[in-house]
């Protein structure tokens, strides 16, 4: 699993390098729930709501470089394969290619018979190599969540 997650993050790095750096023309993306809207205070009820809340917490922890918070959201079996060191290594590869993570935004939920497949846009920003301004770009972060004993639980995650 650790190899797969490393490959997913490495794939995002290769994609970023192949695509080159270009401004995407959008401002920093942040989820309104993170800003303390009333949706953040409402307790999620359905599995879909709980899955979306869990995926957003993962995004928040990634953007804020909160390895402990990110890992706390993973089931124990995943923490054994993807530890704090792996989190920082994978994040460092992405930051080097894409820039500093600056925000997140919900993109879509894909249909699946058993899982919630959440897609989130993670925004990155960095100084242009010619110092002409800030380059912003986004990458898709996929979180697959299953329902285990009535709880939403991460099954897999990674950048596409």
Asked whether the predicted pLDDT for residue 118 surpasses 90, the reply is: yes
Digit-coded pLDDT (tens) for 119-148:
999 999 998 888 899 999 999 999 999 999
How is the chain classified by DSSP, letter by letter? -HHHHHHHHHHHHHHHHHH-----S-PPP--GGGGT-HHHHSPP-SHHHHHHHHHHHHHHHHHTT-HHHHHHTS-HHHHTTS-HHHHHHHHHHHHHHH-EEEEEEEEEEE--SS-EEEEEEEEEEEE-TTSSSEEEEEEEEEEEEEEETTEEEEEEEEE-
For the entire predicted model, the pTM comes to: 0.71
34: domain CATH number is 3.10.450.50
Asked whether the predicted pLDDT for residue 37 surpasses 60, the reply is: no
Show the domain range for 18: 2-159
In the chain, the number of structural domains is 1
């Amino acid at each position: 699993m650790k190899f797969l997650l490393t490959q997913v993050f490495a794939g995002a790095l290769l994609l970023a390098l192949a695509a080159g750096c270009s401004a995407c023309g959008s401002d920093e993306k942040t989820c309104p729930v993170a800003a303390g809207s009333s949706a953040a205070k409402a307790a999620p009820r359905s599995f879909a709501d709980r899955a979306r809340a869990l995926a957003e917490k993962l995004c928040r922890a990634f953007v804020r470089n909160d390895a402990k918070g990110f890992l706390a959201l993973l089931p124990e079996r995943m923490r054994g394969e993807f530890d704090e060191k792996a989190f920082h290594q994978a994040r460092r590869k992405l930051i080097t290619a894409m820039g500093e993570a600056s925000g997140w935004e919900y993109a879509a939920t894909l249909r699946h018979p058993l899982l919630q497949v959440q897609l989130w846009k993670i925004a990155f920003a960095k100084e242009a190599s010619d110092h002409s301004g800030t380059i912003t770009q986004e990458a898709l972060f996929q979180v697959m969540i299953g329902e285990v004993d009535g709880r939403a639980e991460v099954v897999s995650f990674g950048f596409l």
